[in-house]
Amino acid sequence: MKRDHVAIVGGGFSGTLLAVNLLRHDGPRATLIERRDHTARGVAYSAAHPDHLLNVRAENMSALPDEPEHFVRWLEEHRPGVGGFVPRLVYGDYLDHLLTETSARAPGRLKVVRGEVEDVAVAAGGVHLSLRDGTRLNADSAVLAPGNLPPITPGGIDPATLPEGSYVTDPWHGDILGDLAPDDTLLVLGTGLTMVDIALLLDARGFEGKVAALSRHGLVPRAHARGVPATKRSERPQPTASAMIAALRERAAQVDWRAAVDELRPYTQGLWRAMDVAERQRFLRHLRPWWDVHRHRLAPSVAKTIEAMRTEDRLTILAGKVTDAQPDGDHVRLTYRPRHEDGERALRVRRIVNGTGPQGDLTATREPLLVALRDRGLLRADPLRIGIDVDQESRAIAADGASSDRLTVIGPMTRGAFWEIVAVPDIRRQAWSVARRLSNAQWVEGEGL
Ligand SMILES: Cc1cc2nc3c(=O)[nH]c(=O)nc-3n(C[C@H](O)[C@H](O)[C@H](O)COP(=O)(O)OP(=O)(O)OC[C@H]3O[C@@H](n4cnc5c(N)ncnc54)[C@H](O)[C@@H]3O)c2cc1C
């Protein structure tokens, strides 16, 4: 199949890394299409405050899997003295610089287009993209790197009935801080990493009121610890949710629990692949909340701030399920059922921010491009409805079950196939492999990553 030109839809971390690797592997020329006014940074590394730190140490954050020291070297050269858990904004600068520099070394091979892709038609000879502004673009194949879907409003809340400004649907695109008084309470739905970002932001801006955070289990991400030596497992546990827990418990009794979680990482994608759908469902239902808080941890300084806010009673973590939200003047009266209790409790809050985190259900999305491709059967939801169905080479699987040679999907929306595909160390590897496949370079060197 001729592949001289690849169109990449979405210029966040995943799309940018694909473009960079196509250029590095002397692959097809690329057009990177991004609807926002900046490329490379995506959501994670642009909508951040200087206090928002990476939750992975700099040594593990190289964008290039075949150059593990790349980010650390960049820091030494461009931000001397900065290391450890680096501000996310600095990481955005790194990605920006990487794209600009790689592109300058391969003149004429990368084009960046501002605009929103609304449809991709797949024909025998290639793909035809339609942009919202009427632009048409042809390529030999398309790679979708759309990022996560926005959070879904939990049942029991109808934002249309609530006072203006009292409900923020998407923390990355809404006004969280406006018009808050010192005696106000702000409620975050969710107690994970997004909640931590919101709490840090409120703390940094000097919000004097109270923050409450509510999730089903009330679990908060754990902290990284300094000086925990990395350990290695000799074999992969059995691919069942219960065997994984047993293996983790056993190892956590021998080494630090963080090391026990981290040493599973090289096996996680293989374990997921080996589980059938029922077992994966069991994992999501029973283990996911615990897995998430132990696996995706906080930088020690961030954990310290969160702990201080809790001790000073400025942040309260609640476990329970929202049952209702009603207007109460310019406030909201939110009712929830506490976990393991029969009755209900109510909170009067000035604002609710949906911090339940990224979503992936393709059947529920309103993204025009994804709706169009889903409705025409070119994309389908994975069996767990946590993303877009792809095969092990990240090729989109159509409604009829066939893998597409023209349509590839990368990034967190492929979590149904890979599970561990939300953080930089996994996405950089996926982008690298896909770029090599599209460049017909997968059989040449560099296989020992
Ligand atoms: C707040 C936050 C903090 C994180 N922190 C870390 C961390 O510290 N360490 C770590 O390893 N990982 C972290 N991650 C995870 C990981 O780095 C991100 O999930 C990753 O950056 C995903 O990048 P992406 O390009 O797939 O998605 P995004 O960054 O969301 O980019 C997708 C892009 O596609 C564009 N787009 C979508 N549809 C279209 C369309 N139809 N037409 C044109 N453009 C389109 C969007 O505008 C967007 O810019 C974090 C994630 C988040 C959300």
Q: How far is CA 248 from CA 21, 187, 224, 244, in A?
A: 35, 34, 17, 6
Ligand 1 centroid–CA 45 distance in Å is 8
Residue 424 CA, closest ligand 1 atom number: 11
pLDDT in tens, the chain (449 residues): 778 999 999 999 999 999 999 999 888 999 999 999 999 999 899 977 888 999 999 999 999 999 999 999 999 999 999 999 999 999 999 999 999 999 999 999 999 999 999 999 999 999 999 999 999 999 999 999 999 998 889 999 999 999 999 999 988 877 888 889 999 999 999 999 999 999 999 999 999 999 999 999 999 999 998 777 788 887 788 888 888 888 888 888 888 888 888 888 888 899 999 999 999 999 998 888 888 888 889 999 999 999 999 999 999 999 999 999 999 999 999 999 999 999 999 999 999 999 998 889 999 999 999 999 999 999 999 999 999 999 999 999 999 999 999 999 999 999 999 999 999 999 999 999 999 999 987 655 444 44
Out of 43, 135, 144, 262, give the residue to mutate to test ligand 1, the one with the largest number of ligand atoms within 8 Å of its CB.
Answer: 43
Pocket of ligand 1 (CB under 6 A): 9-15, 33-36, 42-44, 54-56, 116-117, 145-148, 197, 369, 411-412, 422-424, 427
Residue 39 CA, closest ligand 1 atom number: 49
Residue 13 CA, closest ligand 1 atom number: 25
Q: Is the pTM of this model over 0.95?
A: no
Ligand 1 centroid–CA 347 distance in Å is 33
The contacts of residue 223 (CB under 8 Å, 6+ apart) are: 297, 298, 299, 300, 302, 303
Ligand 1 centroid–CA 34 distance in Å is 12
CB 37 within 8 A of CB 45: no
Question: Rounded to an integer, what distance in angstroms lies between the CA atom of residue 261 and that of residue 247?
Answer: 10
